[in-house]
Amino acid sequence: MIGFSMGENLMSAIFENEMIRLRDAVLNDAEELLHTNNDDEVMMYYGKNPYNQDIQGARDEILWFRSLLAENKGVRWVIADKASNQYIGDIGVFNFEPDHNRAELGFKLQKKYWNKGIMRVCIQQVLEFAFEEKSYNRIEALVDPRNIGCQKTLKKNGFQLEGALREYEFERGQYIDLQMYSILRREFSK
C-alpha cells in the first residue's frame, strides 16, 4: 500500500514490500546517490554524459527531489533497501506541464538490484500517485533504443511505444535517437 501524509510542507510517501521501501529523499542519501550517479553502467542510457559528480552535486540533486512536490512540478522518491533503509535508486515524475496535464517518468537503480522486479513495482506506485492523487492525464518516458531492459519494464507497466525522436540528444560525443513511450490515465490499472 502507498500512503500519503503532509509533513515539512512536503507530502511524505511510503510504500513497502519484502525488498524495498519508497520514501522521501534525505541529505544522508547523498553518498549512495553519488555512487550511483558515478557508475557508468547505471548511467549509460540515462540521457547525460558521465556525471563525475561530487558530494555537493548529489546533495543538490536531493534538494531538487524534495522541491518537485513542494513546487507542484512532480515527485521524486528514493528507492531504499527495506532492511537497511539505504538508497539504492530513485524514481519519479518531473517536467509537469500543467496546461497539458502531463509529466515525464525517470528512474535509476544500482546495478546489483537489476532484474529483480523492483522497478516494475516502483513504476506502478508512481503511476498510482500521478493518476489517482495528482490526476495527471499522461505520463511519458524517453528511452534510448539500446536500453532493452527499460523498454520491457515500461511495456509491462502498460506504456506504449509512440515513435522515435531522431537525434534528440547529444550524448558521449554523438547524437542519439530516443523512443517516446507513454501511458494515459484511462489506460492505467493497478
Q: Based on the structure, what is the number of domains in the chain?
A: 1
* Beta-carbon contacts of residue 184 (< 8 Å; ≥ 6 apart): 137, 138
CATH code where residue 28 lies = 3.40.630.30
> Residues 60-81: what's their mean pLDDT?
94
> Nearest Cα to 141, choosing from 158, 117, 166?
158
> Residues 72-81: what's their mean pLDDT?
95
- Amino acid (one-letter) located at 26: V
In a domain, 97, yes or no: yes
Which tens digits make up the pLDDT trace of 1-21? 344 333 333 335 479 899 999
In a domain, 132, yes or no: yes
Instruction: Give the whole-angstrom CA distance, residue 126 versus residue 147.
Output: 21
46, 186, 125, 145 alpha-carbon torsion, rounded to 10°: -20
Instruction: Give the whole-angstrom CA distance, residue 104 versus residue 93.
Output: 5
* Beta-carbon contacts of residue 124 (< 8 Å; ≥ 6 apart): 157, 190
In a domain, 187, yes or no: no
In a domain, 147, yes or no: no
In a domain, 178, yes or no: no
> Residues 173-183: what's their mean pLDDT?
95
Q: What is the mean pLDDT of the chain?
A: 89
Which pLDDT value is given to residue 7? Answer: 34
Instruction: Give the whole-angstrom CA distance, residue 165 versus residue 140.
Output: 13
For 85, the domain range is 2-137
**Beta pairing, strands 75-81 & 87-97:** antiparallel
Written as nine digits, the cell of 3 is 500512503
Which pLDDT value is given to residue 173? Answer: 87
Which pLDDT value is given to residue 53? Answer: 77
- Asked whether 122 and 156 are in contact (CB, 8 A), the reply is no
Check residue 125 and report its DSSP letter: H
In a domain, 18, yes or no: yes
Query: Is residue 84 over pLDDT 60?
Result: yes
In a domain, 82, yes or no: yes
pTM for this one?
0.88
Instruction: Give the whole-angstrom CA distance, residue 112 versus residue 122.
Output: 16
pLDDT band at 49 (very low <50, low <70, confident <90, very high): low
Instruction: Give the whole-angstrom CA distance, residue 66 versus residue 82.
Output: 21
